[in-house]
Structure 1
Amino acid sequence: MKSRFLVIFLCLVLGVVSVGAQGVAIKTNLLYDLTATVNAGVEVGLSPKWTLDVSGNYNAWTLSNDRKWKHWLVQPEARYWFCDRFAGHFLGFHLLGGQYNIGGLKNGLKFLGTDFSQLSDHRFQGWMAGAGVAYGYTWVLGRYWNLEAEIGLGYIYSRYDKFECAGCGQKTETGQPHHYLGPTKAAVNLIYVF
């Protein structure tokens, strides 16, 4: 069902936009690929200095009975290019939204008010929405291929249910809010430009 929406979205974008020189790009985030997260993005030129990038990712893997890392995320972003679009420096303004079911991931990380170490012994299931700003740079590798690096910071609001452990169903908290401020985007994208 979700793949059907992606195909329809791509057809609409490609049908509405006139495909000229460097008008549309498709991409994959190599950092997500390293975590076996299925991801894809499409970027469309809106004007000589502006593009619209829409990316999504999906991870449905249960690592083991006591470790889960499941989520989906959609992240649209308006980009302003300092020189030519699809090359050089850019600033991005992004939104994001998705759902997650994650737990049993051993760590001791506490970062900017968020205690990620709770993921070691508990499971969290909920939704998130947020916004942020990003900076990136795109290197032209050839006529059709680019490589892009991007980092973004922003805010995410989330509501979650907390469970006693990753593999069990004993709920300990319901509908808890969480405010996150920090990195909201990290990408090393391999890009094919039409």
Structure 2
Amino acid sequence: MRADAQRNVDSLLQAAKTAFATSGVDAPAKEIADLAGVGVGTLYRHFPQRSDLIKAVFQREVDACADAAPTLAAAHPPGVAVEQWLRRYTEFLATKRGLATALHSGDPAFDALPGYFMQRLGPALGSLLDAATASAEIRADISAKDLLYAVALLCQPVSDEGVTYNERMVALLIDGLRYGAGTSRPAS
């Protein structure tokens, strides 16, 4: 892909992420194109179907979240790295509320995305958990899969509450991960 075309794709994905967070996945194509500083034709050239754009945004965000794990592991003690990664994951989930509806719509275009999600995020979180349990900073009786699902459930929209509420619930979960650290059984 030419450099200018790659810049257009990057701009479109960032614009779609922004538009999806504010207007949902049904945000008008013109809104996305305008935010990206390109024409609607450029949007459709790169993403002929709405599902193509949704999948690309989702995969890009999953990759960014997964890729943050080694950076956090290098910059922080293991328990803090887990906490920081879970907070990043919480932000990812909070900004993807419209995507969740699309992903669970039954559209076959999205069938592979749950597997992609677990394939990328499971090992990323798993490596952080392994280090944190080895250093006795986090309890050892929870798996990466359990934790990914628990945080996702805590990030479900609650009527009359915003994202701050979800963040507080995840903070409680993080505190609970520290309880009994070094004395728990390994996850099965």
TM-score bracket, shorter-length normalisation: under 0.3
User: Of Structure 1 and Structure 2, which has the larger fraction of its residues in strand?
Assistant: 1
**Structure with greater proportional helix content:** 2
| TM-score normalised by structure 2 residue count | 0.21
Q: Taking structure 1 as the reference length, what is the TM-score of the superposition?
A: 0.21
